Every structure is written in C-alpha cells, then in structure tokens.
C-alpha cells in the first residue's frame, strides 16, 4: 500500500466519522428543541425519518453517479452539504428549516458514506479490503457512538453549539479533502485492474442482481432492520422489564461502544481470513438470534447485559462482513453496490423503530420475538450462498 493510498484511506475514514458524528449530534438536544419550540412527538419523528428517507432515495442514484464521474467530486460535494446542513440547524428555530436541514444531512450521508466505502474498495486489494472496510465501519460506528456524548457536552454551552462546531469541522474537512485527497488515477490499481472500470460499459442492473447478490442485499436490510428494531426500544424495554436505571443503560452502551471499536479495528480482518465472509455472516446472525432470545428469557440484569453485548457485537461485525463480500462482486459497480447498501440500511432504519414502537405498545416482548424470527430466517439464507466466488459479476 503506497503512502498516497494510506493518506486517502485516512481521509476517507475521517470523512465517514465526521458525517456519522453529525447524524447523532442531534440526539441529546431533541428533547430541548421539542420543549423549547412546543413541538409534538410526531414532529420530532418526522424530522428524524426525513434524514433516513433522503438517504434511501439518493444513495443508489449517487452510487451510480460516482461510478461514472469519480469518487472525489461526490465526496467533496457531500462534505459541503454536511457543513450546510449543520449550519442550517444552528441558525434556525423553525420546524420547516429543521426538516430541510435533516434532508440535506441525509443527502450528505448518502454521498459520503457509500462513496467512501466504494473508493476504499477501488484502491485496495482483496487481501487489504477487509481490514480497510473494518476501519471504515469502526469510523461509522464511532461517529454514531460518540455523537450523543459530544453533543451533550457542547450543548451545555448552548444547545446550538454542537451544530456550529460541526459546521466548522465540515468546512475544514471539505477544504482538506478537496486539496489533499489524491485523484483515483494516482492511487494505484485494484488487484491488477483499473481503479474504476471503463464507464462506457457498466454492468446492467438486471444482470447485476443475481440470486446471491439479492440474498446479500436482503441480509443488509434485515441486519439494519434488526439492529434498529432492537436498539430503538432497548432502553424502554430494559427499564420497564428489568428495572434498569439510566446508569445501567449507560454502562451497557459504553461497553458496547468500546467492544465494537475493538472488534472492528483489531479482530474483523482476522475473522475474515480465518472463516471467510460467508461463515462470519452466518455466525453473526446466529449469535444475534441467540442473544435476543436470551434477553427475552433472562431473569437477571447481568444476563441481560451479557446477552446485549453479544447481540450488539454480532451486529457490529455483520454489516462490515456483508459489505466486504459485496465489494468483491464487481470492480465496475462499487458506487452502485455501496449506494444500494446505504439505501437498504436507510429502509431498515425507518421501518425498524416504527415496527418496534408499535409492537411495544401491545406487549414488551413482541418486538424482540419478531426480530428473532427475521434473524433465524436470515441465518438459514446464509446456506444459500455456498462460496463468495459464486457471486462474481463480470
């Protein structure tokens, strides 16, 4: 790996971390905004869902665009939109502008996250890719994990302070990426092939969506749906059923954040080498299924804590394993692959919390029972993919 490639990967990791940090900065100030502006819970729910909706609509389109015009222009515009969304959120006190800000933020995430993954796949060999995808996944998780804490600390100064600072970081990052990120043709080759395949002959979507590929995309949808369905009502569930205090919940989420980063940065690459992506995906689906069942049947707080860490750890390894496998399908369609990846993740992020909230109103255990059904079906689906070489798209 050349020095330019290493520099590019560092810039991609930081860009992804920054955007994911911006996604979660808003979490600690949501109650304040709701009370300060006398908004309803429905208003806040719509504000949250608009971000994921914008990601869902834009990701596959932008992914294909980056295949045609290159990764760097898309990343630069994406970071600029990130800066714009944070500044819009900081300067307004109107619900309409908050909603526009979140839509712009969703577009930004759709441009930066899958494009960074695609560019990383372009400039790394298959041997290097699992490690780099693990780093990018850690940046993704790290931003989401650290965002609420950083937002809460900065909000003590002023509840708009997190967004002003995020906007400034976005401006500096846009300038840094535009000036320091090398062009794709300067970054060497991907396993002996060009960094991007000839754009005159892209793979047709109908030929791209083979049965194994559809199965992998279905697993992405299920994993994001399961994670959000699990996580969105977790604090309510453990508080009501197991009398968890805020300190207990904070302990679990903090431990999960630490374990997640360690697994993705230090262990993920080795797991892929030892077991290959298919088995990593299979084992993660099974562990998430078993952990969720354990929580439903648990009788003590420590059982719940251990089971929760198993579930979160499995989910944290599952997504980069699927993403790594997808990036090895075709050298021509990295933008499309990662765009569809992000789009399906957004669908799961919208549907999961809505479904779990509705089921929770019926019975506290219903959400997790439904999640386990989807997880065990996905576990069975992993046996339909015999070998990663069988899903190669030319």
Q: What is the pLDDT of residues 143-186, one digit of tens each?
A: 766 676 677 677 778 878 888 988 888 898 899 888 888 776 66
Domains defined along the chain, listed by start: 1-202 (1.20.1250.20), 203-394 (1.20.1250.20)
Residue 356, pLDDT > 90, answer no
pLDDT per residue as tens digits for the range 269-293? 788 888 888 888 889 999 999 999 9
Percent of residues in the chain assigned helix, strand, coil, to nearest 5: 85, 0, 15
Three-state DSSP at 190 gives strand
Indicate the length of the chain as a whole number: 394
Per-residue pLDDT band for 367 (boundaries 50, 70, 90) equals: confident
276 Cβ contact partners less than 8 Å away, ≥ 6 residues apart: 388
Other residues' Cβ atoms within 10 Å of the Cβ of residue 48: 17
What is this structure's pTM? 0.64
Query: From CA 391, how far away is CA 323, in angstroms rounded?
Result: 13
Q: Average the pLDDT over 193-197 and give the result.
A: 44
Residue 190, φ and ψ in degrees, nearest 5: -100, 100
Per-residue pLDDT band for 197 (boundaries 50, 70, 90) equals: very low
């Amino acid at each position: 790996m050349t020095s330019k490639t290493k520099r590019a990967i560092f810039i991609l990791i930081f860009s992804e971390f920054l955007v994911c940090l911006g996604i979660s900065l808003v979490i600690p100030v949501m109650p304040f905004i709701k009370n300060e502006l006398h908004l309803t819970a429905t208003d806040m729910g719509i504000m949250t869902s608009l971000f994921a909706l914008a990601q869902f609509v834009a990701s596959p389109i932008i992914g294909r665009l980056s295949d045609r015009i290159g990764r760097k222009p898309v990343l630069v515009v994406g970071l600029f939109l990130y800066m714009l969304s944070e500044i819009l959120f900081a300067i307004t006190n109107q619900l309409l502008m908050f909603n526009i800000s979140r839509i712009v933020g969703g577009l930004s995430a759709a441009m930066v996250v899958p494009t960074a993954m695609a560019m990383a796949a372009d400039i790394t060999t298959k041997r290097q890719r699992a490690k780099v995808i693990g780093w990018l996944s850690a940046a993704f998780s790290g931003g989401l994990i650290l965002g609420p804490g950083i937002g809460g600390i900065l909000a003590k100064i002023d509840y708009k302070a997190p967004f002003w600072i995020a906007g400034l970081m976005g401006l500096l990052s846009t300038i840094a990426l535009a000036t320091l990120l090398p062009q794709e043709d300067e970054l060497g080759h991907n396993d002996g092939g060009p960094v991007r395949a000839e754009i005159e002959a892209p793979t047709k979507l109908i030929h791209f969506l083979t049965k194994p590929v559809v199965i992998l995309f279905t697993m992405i949808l299920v994993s994001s749906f399961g994670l959000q369905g699990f996580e969105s009502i977790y604090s309510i569930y453990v508080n009501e059923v197991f009398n968890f205090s805020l300190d207990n919940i904070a302990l679990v989420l903090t431990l999960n954040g630490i374990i997640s980063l360690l697994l993705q940065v230090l262990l993920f690459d080795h797991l892929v080498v030892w077991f290959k992506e298919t088995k990593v995906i299979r084992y993660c689906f099974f562990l998430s299924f078993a952990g969720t069942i354990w929580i439903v049947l648990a009788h003590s707080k420590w059982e719940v804590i251990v089971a929760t860490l198993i579930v979160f750890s499995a989910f944290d390894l599952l997504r980069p394993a699927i993403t790594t496998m997808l990036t090895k399908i075709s050298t021509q369609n990295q933008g499309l692959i990662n765009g569809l990846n992000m789009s399906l993740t957004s669908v799961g992020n919208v549907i999961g919390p809505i479904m779990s909230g509705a089921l929770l109103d019926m019975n506290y255990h219903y959400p997790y029972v439904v999640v386990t059904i989807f997880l065990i079906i996905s576990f069975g689906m992993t046996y339909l993919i015999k070998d990663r070489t069988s899903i190669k798209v030319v």
